[in-house]
């Protein structure tokens, strides 16, 4: 990654800024400009006239989808090889590096003679996960990603926060057991 330097000039403490009265009016000019420009844009969108920028940058989240950054770390996803087998070789590097100790892997022999072993179970407790992304960095076979772009993973039970391997692979839908009170 190249480092870019952007020089920022420090505002000078001149007499005009020290007097403060003029700076008050400058600040008010900025906020009044924002107010009236945004009011104009809101009015135009209320009247249905197109061609103006939106008056606010607000995302109405539950109604509109959340906008996530390109590199946002979201829910984990396990990847498969081209032949459909699980990429994970159960090397336990992610389980070792995990600072929250939220990954549990059990291994078994892989049928493919070129691969020593594979994951039998792969559980991630998202109730413990701190979304640091170390597991993705540690993985030598690129088996785990954090790009499911799903952030709504809350649950009524702690045990429902644990995602098993088929769910992480996308083979099975996540099971939710709603509590007795709302069942």
Binding site for another protein (CB under 8 A): 24, 27-28, 30-32, 34-35, 38-39, 42, 55-58, 60
Closest CB to another protein among residues 49, 53: 53
Rounded distance between C-alpha atoms, residue 94 and residue 168, angstroms: 15
- Least gap, CB of 182 to another protein (angstroms): 23
Q: For tokens 């505002």, what's the residue?
A: 11
Closest CB to another protein among residues 26, 101: 26
Q: Which helix (H) or strand (E) holds 136?
A: helix 134-138
SS3 call for 22: helix
- Least gap, CB of 21 to another protein (angstroms): 9
CB contact at 8 A, 140 and 93: yes
- Least gap, CB of 65 to another protein (angstroms): 17
What does the block give as tokens for 85? 């087998």
Rounded distance between C-alpha atoms, residue 122 and residue 103, angstroms: 7
- Least gap, CB of 46 to another protein (angstroms): 9
- Least gap, CB of 58 to another protein (angstroms): 4
**What's the gap between Cα 51 and its chain centre?**
32
Closest CB to another protein among residues 19, 68: 19
What does the block give as tokens for 51? 């061609």
Closest CB to another protein among residues 2, 60: 60
Closest CB to another protein among residues 30, 172: 30
């Amino acid at each position: 990654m190249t480092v870019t330097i952007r020089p920022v000039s420090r505002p000078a403490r001149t007499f005009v800024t020290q007097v403060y009265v003029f700076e008050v009016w400058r600040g008010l000019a900025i906020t009044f400009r924002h107010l009236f420009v945004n009011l104009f844009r809101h009015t135009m969108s209320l009247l249905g006239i197109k061609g103006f920028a939106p008056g606010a940058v607000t995302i109405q989240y539950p109604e509109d989808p959340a906008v996530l950054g390109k590199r946002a770390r979201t829910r984990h996803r396990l990847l498969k090889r081209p032949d459909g087998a699980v990429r994970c070789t159960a090397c336990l590097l992610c389980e070792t590096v995990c600072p929250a100790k939220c990954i549990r892997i059990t291994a078994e022999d892989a049928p493919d003679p070129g691969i020593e072993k594979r994951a039998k179970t792969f559980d991630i407790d998202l109730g413990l996960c701190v979304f640091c992304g170390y597991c993705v960095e540690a993985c030598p076979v690129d088996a785990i990603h954090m790009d499911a772009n799903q952030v709504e993973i809350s649950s009524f039970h702690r045990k429902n926060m644990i995602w098993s391997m088929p769910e992480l692979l996308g083979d099975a839908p996540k099971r939710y057991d709603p509590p007795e009170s709302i069942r």
